[in-house]
Structure 1
Amino acid sequence: MNSFSGFIPSTFGNLRNLEWLTLYDNNLTSSTLDLSFLSSLSNCKSLTHISLSNNPLDGILPRTYVGNLSHSLKNFYMYNCNVSGGIPEEITNLTDLTTIVLGGNKLNGSIPITLGKLQKLQDVDLEYNQLEGSIPDSICLSVELYELELGGNKLSGSIPACFSNMTFLKVLSLGSNELTSIPLNFWSLKDILDLNLSSNCFSGPLPLEIRNLKALIEIDFSMNNFSGIIPMEIGSLKNLENLFLEYNRLEGSIPDSFGDLISLKSLNLSYNNLSGTIPVSLEKLSYLKDLNLSFNKLKGEIPRGGSFGNFSAESFKGNELLCGSPNLQVPPCKASIHRTSRKNALILGIVLPFSTIFMTAIILFIIKYQKREKGPPNDPNMPPVFNLQCGRAFKSFDVECAMMKSIRHRNLVKVISSCSNEELNIMIDVASALEYLHFGYSAPVIHCDLKPSNVLLDDNMVAHLSDFGIAKLLTGEDQSMTQTQTLATIGYMAPEYGREGQVSTNGDVYSFGIMLMETFTRKKPTDELFNGEMTLKHWVNDCLPISTMEVVDANLLSQEDIHFVAKEQCVSFVFNLALECTVESPEQRINAKEIVAKLLKIRDSLLRNVY
């Protein structure tokens, strides 16, 4: 955790009695593509621990060197080192290994079937690579396995049935893959604590056997195709703290038994087809801090007791038939609603849908009329260089980008690039940079001026965050916020920054949310469309429930596209993430780690459904 740079020496092999080598969180590289420094370590016969994580090694994981390491080696960490190639089968020579962490790299190929020979394994982390194929049954031979993380790859097929034999397994993360089925005996893992199956291709109902997993603390089944009702048996999981079922096709009512989840802290059921009322039993959940029931078909009064007094309108938006307190942006409940006659109920059942359709039609007409009044974006009277329908314009712009992306000066215009189809990857890169600034050091760094012109692209279309002229380092006892008199860019800075000069990591998140909206709408926050109370954020928020097509850049999404539904869903996810970044209260905004995780889920979902 320093700022060491340069090559890792190949002379470490001279330290014959070396037991621990920890170089993680630096800027160290290898002098050769095959990571030859590992070869010298074969002389260290007492070596039990190697940690190289978070260094830009930029090489290929060598088969021979890894296999020749000390047979006493127990822990091997090489997370986020930009290492490529396959996982060498020779790693099974290291029979004392208990921990293998190779996540966050570019490893490809399949998981070696010989991995099961390492019977002392307790922790395997291969997440966020490019691994393909099925999960080998042989991995079940590592009977002491405690934690298995394979998320963020391209694994397909079924979860192996033999997983039910891994009685020590406590953490299983298989999210963001292409897995399709779950064996019935999988639900006998009664001691598992953390289960992540999100962003896969699982379908069908949630099994009643889920009640067997009594020790569960977290379930993440989001972004799948689970359907049917939510089984009331989930209410028997007394230790459950986090339950994520968003973006599925679940229907029916929220079970009253959820009120028995006495340890629950986070509940997300958004973007399903749930109906009925919100159970009053949820008022009993005294630890519940995060609730998201948005975009379902819920109706009736929002409970007021328990933790419900702490939730905002974001928890309930997209449910048109809910009523309750005005601060939740829902209509007040009518006191006489329970005494309404059958005749009146019938009238309401007929009139309400027609009035909703009528109001929606009016809103759509106003938006379309405003667009028509503004005129086409490419005026034929413009000089040809500025007319983007002219073929020479693209060539001219590409030439300008090629020249200017390699130079940098405070008095030169900063150019992003002429990209049109890499928006999602670029925003993932920016979010990753933000995550590093906020969490990569003991003292968080706040950029304070996040905007498109401060994002530069290299030859490989990788985004780099630049211009730290007004950045702040949070030091001292309070590392949550600081004050400044330096003004950031209008339109991108968070409300608390403009009002009080208060800067925090939450402010960077707000700016990122505005950037995300701008990237996918192709409208700057200072566009002439926005004035008075109407802002880019309010425009996206108001139009999104009606139609994604009203706000998305027409160059990114067309109804004629054969993958329109999948792409529209992706864009909808992006805009909702942007709205989560830009909520008014700084404390209620998500953080950079969560942004990266959600963007990766969105990208994986898009790739799975389109490509």
Structure 2
Amino acid sequence: GNNLNGSIPIAVGKLQKLQLLSLEDNQLEGSIPDDLCRLAALFELDSGGNKLDGFVPACFGNLTNLRNLYLGSNKLTSIPSTLWNLKDILYLDLSSNFLLIGNLKVLVQVDLSMNNFSDVIPTTIGGLKDLQYLFLEYNRLQGSIPDSIGDLINLKSLNLSNNNLSGTIPISLEKLLDLKDINVSFNKLEGEIPNKGPFRNFSTESFEGNELLCGMPNLQVPPCRTRIHHTSRKNDLLIGIVLPLSTIFMMAVILFILRYRKRGKPLPNDANMPRISNQRRFTYLEIFQATNGFSENNLIGRGGFGSVYKARIQDGMEVAVKVFDLQYGRAFKSFDIECDMIKRIRHRNIIKIISSCSSDDFKALVLEYMPHGSLEKCLYSSNYILDIFQRLNIMIDVASALEYLHFGYSVPIIHCDLKPSNVLLDDNMVAHLSDFGMAKPLLKEDQSLTQTQTLATIGYMAPEYGREGQVSTNGDVYSFGIMLMETFTRKKPTDEIFFGDMTLKHWVNDLLPISVMEIVDANLLSQKDEHFTTKGQCVSFIFNLAMKCTVESPEQRINAKEIVTRLLKIRDSLLKNVKR
């Protein structure tokens, strides 16, 4: 996370005793050099969260000491078959690339989510006996869920959501007694949802979006039709023989399990959780103590689904704790979405999750602490004034995060709630986009989604979202345009001067041709300033850009890539003519 750019230098290949190479969360581009294959002692390689493209080198299959390989959130297009020679690899993260797709006997985690896989799930996956976490969501996988997944006896989490899977949910999955989380939502599955083993604990969110599923009423699916069979003497005889035998067999199994448990079967070790789950879970008591009992003095802010507190954890590190108000039914969903999104998204301008705390009656996220608070707080502070460079840099940061969400994945991610209170500022006034509780991945074949509940913030939401519930990347661009206007006018879209047909957008549009001085925040422009003309021109360009973001027709709005390019040009022009 040092904002490094350029390519990975081939000279790194000379460090032949190197065991750990961590290059994550930068701006590195180009292909992964074959020279890295000379690092024979390499134990972990993390180059996730960059812009690397092309192929994963075939010679990676020779790195026999490699245990952890993190290449997620890049633009890679192909995995070599030699990668499957790494029989001892533990963690493999290739999520959020553009990949077109055995022998990994001790693999613990596979994350291939958000790619373009359109094949079937191979039945040989059942051979990964140590696998605990399998994430294949947001692809185009077809065919049925293999019965052999039921052989993954150590599996704790399975996510196959948002694919094109069909057929039934295999009854073999009832054997997965360690399975704590399953998500097969938004596929084309049918038939009865299994109801034994771990399935007793799953909720409706795990199965939604499959219209032909049936099962128990608590899962909010139709009941399954029961077939009435006419029994014959032969059937009666079979029942009379099979039932007692199966009872005896079950009793034998139970006795065996009890004896096995007495010998001391080891409990799952949370310390071995892979990093795609949280590095360490906090208890409610730890969160309570770290926030001084959720003291008002620690309260940073309140949002739609909860409150955020400043906290100091035991090692002295300052963090922010987002506590979800579970009185709101949607808070549960918001927590799940935010966990799922942020743990996969890695960018210097997007807030990072440190950990979480989750139980039936308490849910919280532990996040990076941002000392300068939100853009909203800084913008309207009576003690502090953001100068023109700070405001421009903040908006470039937000636009960069937006570009990453919209174009950094094979599946675009829509934030759905861009506004100044969701932009947080660190020690160096670098902006970090936060609050992904309403974010939505957009499947490739769709240009937009329609949702029945309109949950975005009044004043910032795109008109098509408010009217029809239409969600798209263009809607995020509209919200960014409104936020850009607000940042340089220092007027909220809900300001009392805006009523009826007069909105912030119309106000800027009507007065900008007359004079930029009519609309710009007076703290930014003064006619006594020697650089008044240059700064005035810069602000005028910014407002014109904001108007291009907020045109009525979604299709005619510019995209996030263009926004970043234009803002960088405006800043370059300003820097050439104005000394800070």
Give the TM-score normalised by the residue count of structure 2: 0.47
**Larger RCO (alpha carbons 8 Å, 6+ apart):** 2
